[in-house]
């Protein structure tokens, strides 16, 4: 139970940090914000790697393997497409 | 690597994510911000790989290779106009990954020791399964709608179905907490959540997709966070929470920009206007169609021109033609700016990305509040493929379905040119008196062709 409270504390504090920063992102960059934050939500990849590589039952390994694929698409696709979009934004020259 | 060290590495990753998003607060620092995020992810992945729990690398490497290949292909191939679809897919994949991770973690834990499945573990597992699956299927429907594969349907009673499905999913979740050894319950939650995800997004209209995508973005974050509670992993909890916050903020910005409550959007409800005017009453003989030559004459003397892009510009890939027209106008000494409504397009910031793709500098793209006071000093406004976001009825008729929606006040400009294929109504389904205004000229054409025609006519003047 103590663990849960610690985790919840972290969750709630992170929520406030998120709100604080994200309200400062200008509308110009809302699409890259979505794809970029999307990429980092692929952090589930960490859990997927732990499942796919551990000594669990075969089914869990396969689920982990599929999760690695999906999460990696999310991460790689997300960061790359965000990078591509942001590269297009330029100032008046 | 000791567990303290591992947790420090995850903390470093989370810090880089926060700095990364902070970088996105300005276009100058944004590319670097995104790279910081990617470095954070690399640290997190390497940390997971060296975790002593990991003993077999075959599946991991295979998954990383396949996933990277598909991800890279999608990211390099996708057209900027299709970015909403891309983000919908990515949201969905993140969601399903969380579902799979939670399922695998449950099976792993049960094999080692039942007591590992604490109440926190079981609740978080159920939450990951529910939210992750809803995110996945909701995103697939959103993708289908954006891609035009799934047509808009008005489902009556969807609210009741959703409520019932949610209650069943929650009841199953409670059951899983009581008896975590019955893993079939987890898959039953996934099944019910599949139905819930489908029925949640099916009744939502295409033009409400900015809200839906933002919301699903938020869900994908919350699902990752829930998976973090399962694994007791702070990196997942922090990151998921950040993304959850981001999605919710964007959702509320989108709702405010349409003056619709989240409930109305989610249930496909339109507040019916008392007596909506028919299009004959509004347009009847007052709409003036013009050809490109006439419009070119009008623009020839314009000192200040504002362009209002909408979804129609994306559909016809007109951004490059628009850029050429802007360059020509600027060569002739006019000042040109873009007025961008928050819900123009199919996702937040959609128009900005398209214009950036066409090399239009971001300092020319103005937000609604910034540009609205300047319309009175604007000689010509060109509305390209936008409708509801420039409908003055929102301001003037309190019984209209879009009453109170903040709009771009283009009707205050000296002349207005509307490039549109027909007089067909926008998503709100109501006629737009702007098209019949004295100072409005209609150019009935596809956005791209219209922009090109005006440009060629202007060159000939």
Give the 3-state secondary structure of residue B367. strand
Min Cα separation B41/chain A (Å): 7
Q: Count CB pairs under 8 A between chains A and B.
A: 402
- Cβ pair A65, B62 in contact under 8 A: yes
- Cβ pair B9, A65 in contact under 8 A: no
Is B129 in the A-facing interface, judged by CB distances under 8 Å?
no
| B162-173 pLDDT tens trace | 999 999 999 999
Q: Euclidean distance between the first and final Cα of chain B, in Å?
A: 74
Q: What is the pLDDT of residue B453?
A: 93
C-alpha of A41 from chain center: 2
| B68: chain A residues, CB-CB within 8 Å | 72, 76
**In chain B, which among 388-447 make CB contacts under 8 A with chain A?**
none
Asked if residue A93 has pLDDT above 70, the reply is no
Determine whether B152 is an active site residue.
no
* Contact between A89 and B30 using a beta-carbon 8 Å cutoff: yes
Rounded CA separation B182/B292 (Å) = 70
The ipTM estimated for the assembled molecules is 0.95
Q: What is the pLDDT of residue B276?
A: 60
Q: Which residues of chain B have pLDDT under 70?
A: 1-2, 154-155, 268-276
| B41-88 pLDDT tens trace | 999 999 999 988 888 999 999 999 999 999 999 999 999 999 999 999
Q: B314-323: b or e for each residue (b if 16 or more CB lie within 10 Å)?
A: bbbbbbbbbb
Rg (CA), chain B: 25
Stretch(es) of chain B classified as CATH 3.40.50.1220: 279-460
Q: What is the pLDDT of residue B75?
A: 96
Rounded CA separation A28/A31 (Å) = 8
Among A4, A24, A27, beta carbon nearest to B120: A4
Domain over B279-460 is classified CATH 3.40.50.1220: yes
Nearest one of B99, B69, B320 to B197, comparing CA atoms: B99
| A24-33 pLDDT tens trace | 999 999 999 9
Residue B427 CB neighbour total at 10 angstroms: 18
Higher pLDDT, B455 or A90: B455
**In chain B, which among 134-193 make CB contacts under 8 A with chain A?**
none
- Cβ pair B143, B216 in contact under 8 A: no
| B35: chain A residues, CB-CB within 8 Å | 83
Min Cα separation B280/chain A (Å): 37
* Contact between B72 and A87 using a beta-carbon 8 Å cutoff: no
Is A27 in the B-facing interface, judged by CB distances under 8 Å?
yes
| A62: chain B residues, CB-CB within 8 Å | 59
| A5: chain B residues, CB-CB within 8 Å | none
Q: What is the pLDDT of residue B14?
A: 93
| A4-61 pLDDT tens trace | 888 999 999 999 999 999 999 999 999 999 999 999 989 999 999 999 998 889 999 9
| Burial of B359 (C-beta count, 10 Å sphere; 0-12/13-18/19+) | middle
- Cβ pair B303, B334 in contact under 8 A: yes
Q: Which member of B208, B388, B446, B453 is catalytic? A: B388
Rounded CA separation B206/B389 (Å) = 15
Is B348 in the A-facing interface, judged by CB distances under 8 Å?
yes
Residues 6 or more apart whose CB falls under 8 angstroms from that of B162 comprise B196, B199, B200
| B87: chain A residues, CB-CB within 8 Å | 31, 34-35, 38
* Contact between B76 and A80 using a beta-carbon 8 Å cutoff: yes
Residue B31 CB neighbour total at 10 angstroms: 18
pTM for the model stands at: 0.91
- Cβ pair B394, B404 in contact under 8 A: yes
| B107: chain A residues, CB-CB within 8 Å | 56-57, 59-60, 63
**In chain B, which among 101-120 make CB contacts under 8 A with chain A?**
101, 103-105, 107-108, 111, 118-120
Q: What is the pLDDT of residue B283?
A: 86
């Amino acid at each position: 139970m103590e663990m849960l409270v610690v985790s919840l504390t972290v969750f709630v504090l992170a929520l406030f940090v998120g709100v604080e920063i994200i309200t400062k992102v200008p509308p110009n960059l809302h699409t890259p914000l979505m794809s970029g934050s999307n990429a980092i939500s692929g952090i589930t990849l960490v859990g997927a790697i732990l499942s796919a590589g551990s000594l669990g039952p075969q089914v869990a390994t396969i689920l982990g393997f599929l999760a690695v694929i999906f999460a990696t698409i999310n991460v790689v696709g997300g960061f790359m497409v965000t990078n591509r979009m942001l590269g297009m934004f330029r100032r008046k020259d | 690597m000791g567990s303290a060290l591992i947790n420090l590495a995850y903390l470093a990753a989370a810090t880089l994510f926060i700095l990364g998003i902070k970088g996105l607060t300005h276009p100058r620092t944004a590319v670097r911000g995104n790279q910081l995020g990617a470095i954070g992810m690399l640290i997190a992945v390497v940390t997971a790989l060296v975790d002593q729990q990991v003993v077999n690398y075959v599946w991991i490497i295979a998954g990383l290779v396949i996933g990277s290949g598909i991800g890279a292909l999608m990211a390099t191939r996708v057209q900027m106009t299709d970015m909403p679809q891309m983000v919908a897919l990515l949201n969905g994949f993140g969601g399903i990954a969380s579902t799979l991770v939670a399922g695998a973690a449950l099976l792993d834990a049960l094999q080692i020791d039942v007591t590992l499945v604490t109440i926190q573990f079981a609740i978080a597992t159920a939450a990951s399964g529910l939210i992750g699956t809803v995110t996945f299927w909701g995103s697939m429907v959103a993708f289908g709608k954006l891609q035009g594969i799934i047509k808009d349907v008005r489902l009556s009673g969807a609210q009741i179905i959703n409520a019932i499905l949610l209650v069943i999913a929650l009841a199953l979740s409670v059951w899983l907490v009581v008896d975590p050894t019955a893993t079939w319950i987890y898959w039953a939650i996934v099944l019910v959540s599949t139905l819930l995800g489908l029925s949640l997004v099916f009744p939502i209209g295409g033009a409400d997709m900015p809200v839906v995508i933002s919301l699903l973005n938020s869900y994908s974050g919350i699902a990752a966070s829930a998976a973090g509670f399962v694994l007791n992993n702070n990196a997942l909890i922090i990151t998921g929470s950040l993304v959850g916050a981001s999605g919710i903020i964007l959702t509320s910005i989108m709702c405010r920009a349409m003056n619709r409550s989240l409930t109305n959007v989610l249930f496909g409800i339109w507040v019916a206007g008392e007596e909506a005017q028919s299009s004959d009453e509004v347009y009847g003989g007052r709409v003036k169609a013009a050809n490109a030559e006439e419009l070119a004459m009008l623009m020839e003397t314009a000192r200040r021109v504002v362009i209002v892009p909408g979804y129609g510009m994306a559909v016809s890939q007109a951004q490059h033609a628009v850029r050429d027209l802007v360059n020509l106008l600027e060569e002739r000494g006019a000042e040109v700016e873009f007025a961008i409504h928050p819900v123009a397009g199919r996702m937040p910031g959609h128009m900005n990305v398209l214009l950036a793709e066409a090399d239009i500098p971001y300092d020319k793209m103005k937000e609604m509040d910034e540009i609205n006071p300047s319309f009175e000093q604007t000689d010509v406004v060109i509305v390209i493929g936008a409708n509801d976001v420039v409908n003055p009825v929102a301001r003037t008729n309190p019984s209209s379905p879009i009453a109170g929606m903040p709009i771009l006040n283009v009707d205050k400009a000296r002349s207005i040119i509307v490039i549109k294929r027909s007089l067909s109504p926008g998503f709100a389904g109501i006629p737009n008196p702007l098209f019949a205004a004295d100072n409005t000229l209609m150019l009935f054409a596809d956005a791209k062709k219209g922009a090109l025609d005006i440009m060629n006519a202007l060159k000939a003047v």
